[in-house]
Structure 1
Amino acid sequence: MGDLLLVRHGETEWSAAGRHTGRTDLPLTAEGEAEARALAPFFAGRAVSFVLTSPLRRARHTAELAGLRDAATDEDLCEWDYGGYEGLTTARIHEARPDWSLWRDGVPAHGDGRPGESAEDVGRRADRVLARIRPLLADSGEDGVVVAHAHLLRVLTARYLDLPPSEGRLFLLTTATLGRLSTEHGLPVIAGWNQRPLPRGGAGP
């Protein structure tokens, strides 16, 4: 069975400022584009069975700049819908709710009628993605790649490990870094995490 390589998109203006960026479709910054291009040597010449990406342009552009140009989009890979907390920093939220935790408390509804999502909601989307991916990894024996967003990928990792979605809180993932989900003796494991990969032949995931 192949491994699943997870790539968080490069920097955006809001990610650099620590603002919750769910469905707001921001572009990469110049630094984010440079981060994404730095991934390309790692993927050059690497056989993968599939590439999936969030439909949001920060993820799609990261995939393109990393040399992953045949990516298919999957709506279930969109970032957590932050509802009424879209665009806010955690520090700003804590001014009104000092004990607030995204993982435990979720988010309030947005004024336009969007309810936002809980960790369990995002977990259900992650489960659907994994259900589609696992047969592809098993049949090909090659690695697969998912390019998406920090909180979505953290939840997906928790579910891959058979943990509750809220345990995604344990897996910090910075921009344009890579994680590797694998198996050992038939059990799911993390083989690499939050790494800036080097080209093949060097150290890295």
Structure 2
Amino acid sequence: MSELIVLRHGETEWSVSGQHTGTSDIPLTERGEEQARHLLDDLGDREFVEVLVSPLQRASRTAELAGIEEFETVPDLAEWDYGEVDGLTTADYLARREADGRGPWNLWTDGAPGGESPSAVAERVDRVLGRVRRSLEKGDVLVVAHSHLLRALVARWLGLDVRHGEGFLIDAAHRSVLTHKRESPVVKYWNVPPTH
């Protein structure tokens, strides 16, 4: 059975600090580059019929350092556009909302003010999955992208509303495997750390 391997990019300064990193195109840290070099080490000589990568440099650089020589940049794999939340931690943003007299907030149900709604992210992820499902008929597929985007992707892979992506944490430089069991989409592994 063919597998969809999804990788979250290596560490960045903002993944360490907990700042939302949507369209801000920041580089990997030195540690993030080292992580990326080992992301595929334990997969052996696996070949992919298609490799799809977010256009943001933290993802494309991760793919390059992981030893992927050919890949396609896919705009639909860019991270959630966080709008006014970009560059802020959740705690900082909630404090700002409280100071402005606004109520509670949850990205997965409310969307990002000035950015994308959950339904807009779901539409992007569904387009990617439509393409991936066709490619999986021929062999394994690799996707390199971002935390919230991949969490939305796994929810949609399982046929769930995108808001259920909130329950699937994926750390920087970690990998997950999606496949089928008796024709039903399943999660084989989730949030697997690098080997080094």
Question: TM-score per shorter chain, which class?
Answer: over 0.9
Indicate if the aligned counterparts of 1:120 and 1:166 stay in contact, CA closer than 8 A: no
2:141 to 134, 139, 144: 144
Determine whether 1:76 maps to 2:84: no
1:177 to 171, 174, 178: 174
| 3-state SS of 1:135 partner | helix
Indicate if the aligned counterparts of 1:44 and 1:67 stay in contact, CA closer than 8 A: no
Shift of 1:107: 1.7
Determine whether 1:101 maps to 2:101: no
Tell me the amino acid that sits aligned with residue 27 of structure 2. Answer: P
Question: What residue is the counterpart of 2:23 in the other structure?
Answer: 23
Tell me the amino acid that sits aligned with residue 142 of structure 2. Answer: V
Question: What residue is the counterpart of 1:12 in the other structure?
Answer: 12
Question: What residue is the counterpart of 1:36 in the other structure?
Answer: 36
Give per-residue Cα distances to partners, 1:10-33, cap 9 Å, x unaligned: 011111111111011111000100
The number of residue pairs the alignment matches comes to 191
Tell me the amino acid that sits aligned with residue 39 of structure 2. Answer: L
Give per-residue Cα distances to partners, 1:8-62, cap 9 Å, x unaligned: 0001111111111101111100010011112142345211111110011100000
Question: What residue is the counterpart of 1:128 in the other structure?
Answer: 127
Question: What residue is the counterpart of 2:61 in the other structure?
Answer: 61
| Ranges in structure 2 where 5+ consecutive residues have no aligned partner | 99-103
| 3-state SS of 1:48 partner | coil
Indicate if the aligned counterparts of 1:52 and 1:146 stay in contact, CA closer than 8 A: yes
| 3-state SS of 1:34 partner | helix
Question: What residue is the counterpart of 2:162 in the other structure?
Answer: 165
The Cα RMSD (Å) is 1.4
Question: What residue is the counterpart of 2:101 in the other structure?
Answer: none
For residues 77 and 188 of structure 1, the distance between their equivalents in structure 2, rounded to whole angstroms, comes to: 20
Tell me the amino acid that sits aligned with residue 128 of structure 1. Answer: R
* TM-score of the two chains, using structure 2 as the length reference: 0.93
For residues 55 and 105 of structure 1, the distance between their equivalents in structure 2, rounded to whole angstroms, comes to: 25
| 3-state SS of 2:33 partner | helix
Fraction of identical pairs, as percent: 49
Indicate if the aligned counterparts of 1:80 and 1:117 stay in contact, CA closer than 8 A: yes
